[in-house]
Amino acid sequence: MNDMKLFSGRAHPDLARRVCAYLGLPLGTVVVGNFPDGEISCKIDEDVRGRDVFIVQPTCPLVNENLMELLIMIESFKRASAERITAVMPYFGYARQDRKDEGRVPITAKLVANIITRAGADRVLAMDLHAAQIQGFFDIPVDHLYAAPVIDGHFKKMNIAEEEIVVVSPDEGSIKRARWHLGRLGGRLAIIDKRRTSAEETSQEHIIGAPVDGKTALIFDDMISTAGSICGAAEVVHEHGARQIYLAATHGILCEGAIERIENSPVNGVVITDTIPLAPEKAIEKITVESIAPLLGEAIKRIHRNESVSRLFV
C-alpha cells in the first residue's frame, strides 16, 4: 500500500489516527489553520503526486467550518496532482435535508454533494447516511458503510438471551434498520407509533408488534441529535414494562440538551460509535463509544486495492 496516503482535517484527527494504526500507515502531514479573518489555510507537507489519497473529515459540528475545510483540502490535493482523492466522511452533514417536503426550501444534501464533486473528489466513503438515496445525489462513486456489525457486536458481548430481546424501531421509517439488527441479534420486533403533532413536536404512545413487558428493549436509530425522539421511545417501552432499555445509534451528535434527556431517561445504557468525536463534558456513564476505525480501515484498504466493499456486510 505504498501508493496510498491518509490525511486528516481538524474535525476528528483521533479517528484518523486509529484508522492509520489499523492499516499500519503513518498519518499524512498537512497543516490546516486559519488566517486572522477566519479564512481556512491548507499546506500539504509531503509529496502526493500520483498517490491514492484519503481525507478523513466528518462534517459534524461545527458543520460549516468542517465542510469548508474538507473542500479546501480536496482542492489542495487536486492541485498537488494526487491520482485519486477519496473524501472519507463517517458523518455526512446536511443529510436530513434530502427532499423538498414543502415549498421554497432547498435540497441541501444535493447541494453538498455537488460542491464536494466540484471541488475535485473522485470518490466518497460515508457511513449510515440518513437516507440511502443520498448516494444518488453524487455523480461520483459512493461507498456506503454500515456500523451495525460494530453495534451488534457490543450487544452480543452482553450475552442477552435471544428470547429476552425485543428490537424496537422508534418509528415506521426505521423498520428496515431494526429488521437488519433483528437478523443478527435474534429476538422479536416492536414498532413505536410516532405521530407528528406540530412542526416541532411528535407524540409516541403505542407499541405495535411484540410485547416488551419484562424484556430487554434495544432501540436503534441512525443518529441521536437532541435525543427527544429516541428518549420518548424509551419512555413508551418503559411504561409498557420493559425490564432493561438500551439505545443505539451510529452518530452521537448529542446537541441541545441531549445529555440531560439521556441522564433523566429510564435507559440503562446508550451505544454510539466514534464517527463524531465525543466532547469530554458529554462522556457520561450511560454512554459507551465503540470504534468504527477497523471497519473504516478495512473499507479504505479494499477501495485502494479495487476489491469489494459490500463483502464486509455479507
* Shared domain check, 172 and 89: no
* Shared domain check, 261 and 232: yes
Find the mean pLDDT for residues 243-256: 97
Comparing 127-131, 203-207, 257-261, 264-268, the range with the smallest average pLDDT is: 203-207
Point out the catalytic residue in the list 110, 176, 194, 301: 194
How, if at all, do strands 165-169 and 188-196 pair?
Answer: parallel
* Shared domain check, 285 and 297: no
Q: What is the mean pLDDT of the chain?
A: 94
In this prediction, residue 206 carries a pLDDT of: 82
Tens of pLDDT, residues 184-227: 999 999 999 866 555 455 566 689 999 999 999 999 999 999 99
* Shared domain check, 203 and 99: no
Could you tell me the CATH number of the domain that includes residue 158? 3.40.50.2020
Find the mean pLDDT for residues 106-118: 98
* Shared domain check, 81 and 56: yes
The domain containing residue 11 runs over which residues?
4-146+293-313
For the chain, the domain total comes to 2
Find the mean pLDDT for residues 101-122: 96
* Shared domain check, 96 and 176: no
Cis peptide leading into residue 254 (ω within 30°) = no
* Shared domain check, 78 and 134: yes
In this prediction, residue 267 carries a pLDDT of: 98
Angle at CA of residue 65, ends 60 and 66, nearest 5°:
45
* Shared domain check, 135 and 172: no
* Shared domain check, 180 and 135: no
Find the mean pLDDT for residues 122-150: 96
Radius of gyration of the CA atoms of the chain, in A? 20
* Shared domain check, 94 and 59: yes
In this prediction, residue 199 carries a pLDDT of: 43
Tens of pLDDT, residues 264-297: 999 999 999 999 999 999 999 999 999 999 999 9
* Shared domain check, 286 and 200: yes
Tens of pLDDT, residues 145-198: 999 999 999 999 999 999 999 999 998 888 999 999 999 999 999 999 866 555
| Buried b / exposed e along 269-302 (16+ C-beta atoms within 10 A) | bbbbbbbbbbeeeeeeeebebbbbbebbbbbbbb
Catalytic: 194?
yes
* Shared domain check, 221 and 273: yes
